[in-house]
Amino acid sequence: MGRKISVILLAVCLVTAFSVHAADIVYSKNAVGFGKTVLGPDDFGLFSPGFEGMETADIQEALDGQLSGAVSATAADQCLLWDTGTQTYLNFYKFDSSGGLFGGALDDKWVVTGSGFPPLVATQEVNLGSAFWLKNNQTNTQEVILKGNAPVAPTGTVEMVEGLTFFSYPYAADIDLNTSPLGTLGKGAVSATAADQILAWDQDNQVYKNFYLFDSGSGLFGGALDNKWVVTGSGFPPLVATQDISLVRGYWYQRSSGAGTLTWNSPKPYDL
């Protein structure tokens, strides 16, 4: 079963069509839109809050009405955020007692895994340029729909700290990895272990696709691969990546030790 994403942008005036994968469905009318993804049984999906209005004081509004709840974390669907400071996951699950437990006050709420019983209601932020996992723990296929307004700030800023960072493109569009500024901003090297790396989650196959930033520093291969993202394990010379950073999708950035924080200031890619 394919686990494809459909993205629909709706509302008031025509704009330039956003670039998308062939598997996507996009209607390029501006301002308000949603992205729909199918999660099969036991599937993970790595998502981004790609629309304004999704970033809130907590995750409740961003994930309102999404997935299925239960009394226990193992039976409920789950959300995982990444804490870049501690380099650990923050774990949440959707609570639903189906019988009005705790007066029904926690039903349909995302709560903190392991916080006791009754569990604590989650208050973590979800921001543009970040990402989060959702896990379907059910035996049936479910849809996830993320919606909001297309971001209109002139610049979107994303920071990648040393170590691992969840990131996404901070606009309602796609951007090709190798035409993005990340090729010049990142730390390149001849080997993947010495370079910055990006991990993209393959939603269909439920596996990672791995890339690293190549830079020989000496014009190896005529310099054609310097500052290019290439496919990890694809030989030498490695293959140039043909990967998009896509709307409503999240990614991992592995920042090299000692390289400091990378700041990606991205200009708005559309006229809204």
Pull the structure tokens for residue 231: 């496919």
**Residue 88 belongs to some domain of the structure:** yes
End-to-end CA distance of the chain: 36
Long-range contacts of 183-189 (CB under 8 A, 24+ apart): 183/213, 183/227, 183/228, 183/229, 184/227, 185/262, 185/263, 185/264, 186/213, 186/262, 187/213, 187/215, 187/255, 187/256, 187/259, 188/213, 188/214, 188/215, 188/226, 188/227, 189/213, 189/214, 189/215, 189/256
Asked which of 130, 149, 168 is the last residue of a domain, the reply is 149
Mean per-residue pLDDT for 21-26?
A: 33
pLDDT in tens, 190-234: 999 999 999 999 999 999 999 999 999 888 999 999 999 999 999
Mean per-residue pLDDT for 28-49?
A: 81
User: Which residues, in sequence order, are CB contacts of 195 under 8 Å at separation 6+?
Assistant: 186, 187, 188, 189, 212, 213, 214, 215, 256
**pLDDT confidence of 11, banded at 50, 70, 90?**
very low
Number of structural domains (the chain) is 2
137 with 189, same domain: the answer is no
User: Which residues, in sequence order, are CB contacts of 26 under 8 Å at separation 6+?
Assistant: 7, 8, 9, 17, 18, 20
**Residue 118: its pLDDT value, please?**
96
**Residue 1 belongs to some domain of the structure:** no
**Residue 26: its pLDDT value, please?**
35
41 with 145, same domain: the answer is yes
Mean per-residue pLDDT for 120-143?
A: 93
Q: Specify the higher pLDDT residue, 70 or 31.
A: 70
**Residue 4: its pLDDT value, please?**
43
121 with 135, same domain: the answer is yes
**Nearest to residue 58, comparing CAs of 118, 104, 111?**
111
201 with 142, same domain: the answer is no
172 with 136, same domain: the answer is no
**Residue 188: its pLDDT value, please?**
98
Query: For residue 175, is pLDDT > 60?
Result: yes
The SS3 of residue 221 is: helix
User: Which residues, in sequence order, are CB contacts of 117 under 8 Å at separation 6+?
Assistant: none
Asked which of 119, 149, 179 is the last residue of a domain, the reply is 149
173 with 123, same domain: the answer is no
Mean per-residue pLDDT for 137-150?
A: 91
**Residue 200 belongs to some domain of the structure:** yes
**Residue 128: its pLDDT value, please?**
82
**Residue 24 belongs to some domain of the structure:** no
pLDDT in tens, 72-89: 999 999 999 999 999 999
131 with 198, same domain: the answer is no
What is d(CA 234, CA 242) in angstroms, rounded to the nearest whole number? Answer: 13
The SS3 of residue 135 is: strand
Asked which of 149, 182, 214 is the last residue of a domain, the reply is 149
141 with 166, same domain: the answer is no
**Residue 83 belongs to some domain of the structure:** yes
Distance between alpha carbon 153 and the CA centroid of its chain, in Å?
19
Match 């686990």 to its residue by tokens.
Answer: 3
Query: For residue 140, is pLDDT > 70?
Result: yes
**Residue 44 belongs to some domain of the structure:** yes
**Residue 53: its pLDDT value, please?**
64
Match 């809204």 to its residue by tokens.
Answer: 272
Q: Specify the higher pLDDT residue, 18 or 218.
A: 218
Pull the structure tokens for residue 143: 């849809």
What is d(CA 52, CA 11) in angstroms, rounded to the nearest whole number? Answer: 15
Q: What is the mean pLDDT of the chain?
A: 86
Q: Alpha carbon of 187 to those of 152, 212, 222, 259: distances in Å? A: 29, 9, 19, 7
Which percentage of the chain shows pLDDT scores above 70?
Answer: 86
Residue 49 belongs to domain spanning:
37-149
**pLDDT confidence of 55, banded at 50, 70, 90?**
low
188 with 84, same domain: the answer is no
**Residue 23 belongs to some domain of the structure:** no
Mean per-residue pLDDT for 250-272?
A: 94
**Residue 245 belongs to some domain of the structure:** yes
